[in-house]
Amino acid sequence: MTRSSASTSSQVPQDTKIWDSLKGAIAASSGFQRWQLERPVDEYGHGSLEHLVRRYLRETLETLAY
């Protein structure tokens, strides 16, 4: 079943709000902060919070997959 375009377009702003809130919570977590401290700055550069959170989540999930 597909979503109607009206529900999809109204969902985008809500999804963005949720992602922004989640991103902030992850960035404030001790796990994320420890992850940043364990890596040299040049390894991940001065990427955006978006990039860093996505990389943190990807690496965490890869670790859990083992």
49 in a structural domain: yes
8 in a structural domain: no
Count of structural domains within the chain: 1
What confidence score (pLDDT) does residue 57 get?
95
58 in a structural domain: yes
32 in a structural domain: yes
1 in a structural domain: no
3 in a structural domain: no
What span, in angstroms and rounded, lies between the C-alpha atoms of 49 and 55? Answer: 10
Residue 36 has a CB neighbour count (10 Å cut-off) of: 13
pTM of the entire predicted model: 0.72
What confidence score (pLDDT) does residue 11 get?
77
Q: Which domain holds residue 61?
A: 16-65
2 in a structural domain: no
35 in a structural domain: yes
Give pLDDT tens digits for 21-52.
999 999 999 999 999 998 876 666 667 899 99
Residues contacting 52, CB < 8 A, separation 6+: 27, 32, 36, 44
What span, in angstroms and rounded, lies between the C-alpha atoms of 41 and 44? Answer: 6
What confidence score (pLDDT) does residue 59 get?
93
